Amino acid sequence: MVINFKAAFWLSVFLACAQPVSAQHLAEAIRVNQVGFYPAAPKVAVVVGAAAGKFYLTTPDLATTVFTGELGPQRYAELSFQQTRTADFSDFKAAGTFVLWIPGLGFSHQFQIRPGVHDAVARAALKGFYYQRASTPLPLAYAGIWSRPLGHSDNQVLVHASAASAQRPVGTVIAAPRGWYDAGDYNKYVVNSGITLGTLFSLYEDFPAYCAGLDTRIPESSNALPDLLDEALWNLRWLKAMQDPSDGGVYHKLTNASFDGMVMPAEARAPRYVVQKSTAAALDFAAVMAQASRVLRKFDRQLPGLADSCLRASTSAWAWARAHPAVYYEQDALNKQFQPAISTGAYGDGDVSDEFIWAAVELYVTTKQDSYYRSVKLFQDAQTPLPSWGQVRTLAYYTLARFGPELTALGRKDLPQLKSRLLALADNLAQGSAMRAYQTVMGKSAADYNWGSNANAANQGVALVQAYRLSGDRKYLQFALTNLDYLLGRNATGYCYVTGCGAQPPQHPHHRPSEADGVREPVPGLLVGGPNPGRQDGCHYPSTLVDMAYDDEVCSYASNEIAINWQAPLVYLAGALETLQTQGGLSPAPKK
Ligand code: 9MR
Ligand code: 9MR
């Protein structure tokens, strides 16, 4: 059962009244990773508005103090204008379940210290994708109380006027079943699927052994593939159907004309369309299909022909993009020309130079053909941008770094520059974090907080893990961990931003099934967008301050929606840290 925070608070107050021994109550002011800590890793909580003094690490009943420390110096949280102090209990390394107690303030949510403490988060986050599956019922055996009937079979999808061609005139019916719902809505967008699948495949390429053991109890769990790949295949098979076989072009999205109401998938029966092909869709598709071909190659026996067909799909999408290098998805312009008007997510991007780099690099690494590498300018400027749905250049850098010595001589010659750029990105992200109020990499500047800010936190974590892999320098892992701490509670709102995790998770995500299923608890394992002072939804947020502009209400699609492209880097970050927990000073190695 998920305990509602307010209920827990009043319950604790009530108990305190009933049992005068404990006059202390749950202190909202203590911000801590509500899941927990690795034994040897840094362990920090942040306390808002506390005076100097001692803090105590105790058993949850407050009966036994296991560690006593001094609160750190006062620090000013520049985005939320608050004074904070840290409670640093890194020196305590024993396993168990604990709370922090600060006399006069109260006690924190309880958390664990143990090896493998984030495994459940990684698993829940990957399972989150299962709950997003279209075109299938979710049976009780796999979905528990969130089981639901099939929605969106998507085997009668209409070719929209914007996508009409000689071979597929307007109104042609095609089948494009499966795939994941993008987010709180039920549409399927190629661009956003690109970075999402790319991130999950990268987790597999970076940490195959961990992924092999990552069991999420899905219908395919008993087959020979890791669950992560089975899950990815659910979306990949849909994605393949988004390519027009006659020319290699890829439709930008499969969508309703307008968003569904807050209903269950099975009740959403509006006509579905594939709309306009775009260069961004073709290139993201080409990148992911090339990577999929590489990953699935070793499962040729289980999936005969799939790796080959992915590569063919990739090269024909690449050829289409080269022939149509500037076909952008501009929804307003499209609606002036075609009927019905389309008002769902746009994922519009007017600069596809980064998509060209990503696709070229994935094709190069998979085929070892230098011509792909030569076709783009890898270092087109001095930037190494943090990945997002509209900016995928650095995904190409990750892939090149991953294959380093296996690249052809042409790619190998750029490795030193690549490495220094990726380390510079990590250093730049981490710079100053130890001096900031929350001591997380996330929150360096207000620019971290846009729509889907939690994806920035997770993607920063991924970038830091990449830096660790390249350098072996343990500081990068510890920086990456600060952002997992951020997502799980050490932040200015005190929320653990993953549904069903920690003591204070979101209760009302903008997520149609969670809202419409009649189950009190939201679908678990889903990362919400997080603080976003843009507040494009116009809802009434409890705070408008940059890192506190978060509203745990269904209304708030700009801060409280879930989305696959935020979910994937969370799976990556939690999974990577679980894999690396015995390295880089995160935990002692397990006894042999
Ligand atoms: O539910 C939609 C969500 O998935 C999108 O991210 C968001 C922004 O495009 O729009 C949501 O739909 C809202 C629509 O834009 C305006 N009317 C209310 C809709 C549901 O709350
Ligand atoms: O994540 C997207 C964000 O970067 C955009 O600013 C926003 C408005 O266009 O759309 C977000 O993506 C939404 C998509 O358009 C529709 N499905 C829900 C996505 C998450 O809110």
| pLDDT score recorded for residue 482 | 98
The helices-and-strands tally (H runs, E runs) of the chain is: 18, 15
C-alpha 347 to ligand 2 mean position (Å): 7
DSSP symbol at 499: T
DSSP-assigned beta bridge partners for residue 547: none
Residue 120: both structure tokens together = 């459940």
Give the pLDDT band (50/70/90) at residue 591.
low
| pLDDT score recorded for residue 8 | 42
Query: Would the pLDDT of 116 be above 70?
Result: yes
Order of strands across the sheet that contains 30-31: 30-31, 44-48, 82-88, 75-77
Asked if residue 530 belongs to a domain, the reply is yes
CA distance 49 to 197: 42
Which ligand places an atom closest to the C-alpha of 565? Answer: 2
146 and 266 inside one domain: yes
CA distance 481 to 476: 9
473 and 334 inside one domain: yes
CATH code (residue 73): 2.60.40.10
DSSP-assigned beta bridge partners for residue 97: 112
Which helix (H) or strand (E) element contains residue 415?
Answer: helix 415-430
Residue 277: both structure tokens together = 């092909």
Which ligand places an atom closest to the C-alpha of 347? Answer: 2
Query: Would the pLDDT of 21 be above 60?
Result: no
Residue pair 521/509 in contact by the 8 Å Cβ criterion: no
Rounded mean pLDDT of 167-188? 98
Domain stop point among 60, 83, 113: 113
CA distance 19 to 119: 36
Query: C-alpha 474: how far from its chain's center?
Result: 23
362 and 334 inside one domain: yes
Give the pLDDT band (50/70/90) at residue 586.
confident
Give the pLDDT band (50/70/90) at residue 24.
low
> Which residue lies with its CA nearest to atom 6 of ligand 2?
451
CA distance 192 to 452: 13
Rounded mean pLDDT of 36-41? 96
Task: Kindly state if the Cβ of 537 falls inside 6 Å of ligand 1.
Answer: no
- Tell me which residues have their CB closer than 6 angstroms to ligand 2: 182-183, 185, 345-346, 451-452, 557, 561, 563
Nearest atom in ligand 2 to 184's CA: 18
| pLDDT score recorded for residue 90 | 97
Task: Kindly state if the Cβ of 238 falls inside 6 Å of ligand 1.
Answer: no
Give the β-pairing of 157-159 and 273-277. parallel
Asked if residue 589 belongs to a domain, the reply is no
Asked if residue 10 belongs to a domain, the reply is no
Residue 69: both structure tokens together = 């420390």
CA 18, 22, 23: angle at the middle one, nearest 5? 90
pLDDT tens digits for range 518-557: 999 999 999 999 999 999 999 999 999 999 999 999 999 9
130 and 184 inside one domain: yes
Which ligand places an atom closest to the C-alpha of 530? Answer: 2
Rounded mean pLDDT of 243-262? 98
101 and 123 inside one domain: no
138 and 44 inside one domain: no
Query: Would the pLDDT of 20 be above 90?
Result: no
| pLDDT score recorded for residue 589 | 59
| pLDDT score recorded for residue 583 | 81
3, amino acid identity: I
> Which residue lies with its CA nearest to atom 16 of ligand 2?
345
CA distance 302 to 384: 38
Residue 218: which residues within 8 A CB-CB, separation 6 or more? 127, 130, 142, 227, 230, 231
Nearest atom in ligand 2 to 565's CA: 1
Query: Would the pLDDT of 502 be above 70?
Result: yes
> In a mutational test of the pocket of ligand 2, which residue from 342, 347, 453, 532 has the highest number of ligand atoms less than 8 Å from its CB?
347
Asked if residue 497 belongs to a domain, the reply is yes
137 and 80 inside one domain: no
pLDDT tens digits for range 441-451: 999 999 999 99
Nearest atom in ligand 1 to 185's CA: 4
Query: C-alpha 468: how far from its chain's center?
Result: 20
296 and 385 inside one domain: yes
Nearest atom in ligand 2 to 536's CA: 8
Q: What end-to-end distance do the CA atoms of the chain give, in Å?
A: 36
Rounded mean pLDDT of 151-162? 98
Question: Is 118 an annotated catalytic residue?
Answer: no
Query: Would the pLDDT of 15 be above 70?
Result: no
Residue pair 546/590 in contact by the 8 Å Cβ criterion: no
Task: Kindly state if the Cβ of 185 falls inside 6 Å of ligand 1.
Answer: yes
Domain coverage including residue 162: 118-583
Residue 452: which residues within 8 A CB-CB, separation 6 or more? 388, 529, 530, 532, 563, 565, 566
Residue pair 527/570 in contact by the 8 Å Cβ criterion: yes
> Which residue lies with its CA nearest to atom 18 of ligand 2?
183
Asked if residue 307 belongs to a domain, the reply is yes
Residues of the chain with pLDDT > 70: what percent? Answer: 95
pLDDT tens digits for range 352-371: 999 999 999 999 999 999 99
Per the residue annotation, which of 25, 160, 510, 511 is the catalytic one?
Answer: 510
Largest CA distance in the chain: 80
Number of domains in the chain: 2
pLDDT tens digits for range 57-86: 999 999 999 999 999 999 999 999 999 999
CA distance 63 to 8: 20
> Which residue lies with its CA nearest to atom 2 of ligand 1?
185
Task: Kindly state if the Cβ of 345 falls inside 6 Å of ligand 1.
Answer: yes
Asked if residue 23 belongs to a domain, the reply is no
> Which residue lies with its CA nearest to atom 13 of ligand 1?
259
Residue pair 173/160 in contact by the 8 Å Cβ criterion: no
98 and 239 inside one domain: no
Domain stop point among 92, 113, 134: 113
CATH code (residue 366): 1.50.10.10
Asked if residue 5 belongs to a domain, the reply is no
Rounded mean pLDDT of 89-107? 96
| pLDDT score recorded for residue 473 | 95
From residue 199, alpha-carbon distances to 202, 273, 394, 396, 398 in Å are 5, 27, 11, 11, 10
CA distance 239 to 314: 11
Asked if residue 11 belongs to a domain, the reply is no
Residue 544, classified by CB atoms within 10 Å of its CB into exposed (0-12), middle (13-18) or buried (19+), is exposed
Residue 561: both structure tokens together = 């929606």
Look over the chain and give the mean of its residue pLDDT values, rounded to a whole number. Answer: 95
| pLDDT score recorded for residue 590 | 55
C-alpha 126 to ligand 2 mean position (Å): 21
99 and 231 inside one domain: no
DSSP-assigned beta bridge partners for residue 282: none
Domain stop point among 79, 113, 147: 113
pLDDT tens digits for range 456-469: 999 999 999 999 99
Task: Kindly state if the Cβ of 557 falls inside 6 Å of ligand 1.
Answer: yes
| pLDDT score recorded for residue 139 | 98
Task: Kindly state if the Cβ of 183 falls inside 6 Å of ligand 1.
Answer: yes
> Which residue lies with its CA nearest to atom 10 of ligand 1?
557
Which ligand places an atom closest to the C-alpha of 185? Answer: 1
Query: Would the pLDDT of 131 be above 70?
Result: yes
Rounded mean pLDDT of 368-376? 98
CA distance 122 to 214: 8
512 and 530 inside one domain: yes
326, amino acid identity: A
| pLDDT score recorded for residue 1 | 34
Residue pair 10/18 in contact by the 8 Å Cβ criterion: no
CA distance 77 to 84: 7
Nearest atom in ligand 1 to 187's CA: 4
Residue 313: which residues within 8 A CB-CB, separation 6 or more? 240, 243, 285, 289
Least confident among 24-28, 227-231, 242-246, 266-270: 24-28
pLDDT tens digits for range 280-331: 999 999 999 999 999 999 999 999 999 999 999 999 999 999 999 999 999 9
105 and 142 inside one domain: no
Residues of the chain with pLDDT > 90: what percent? Answer: 93
CA distance 312 to 315: 5
From residue 228, alpha-carbon distances to 122, 182, 222, 233, 467 in Å are 11, 18, 13, 9, 24
Q: What is the model's pTM?
A: 0.95
C-alpha 449 to ligand 2 mean position (Å): 14
CA distance 92 to 5: 27
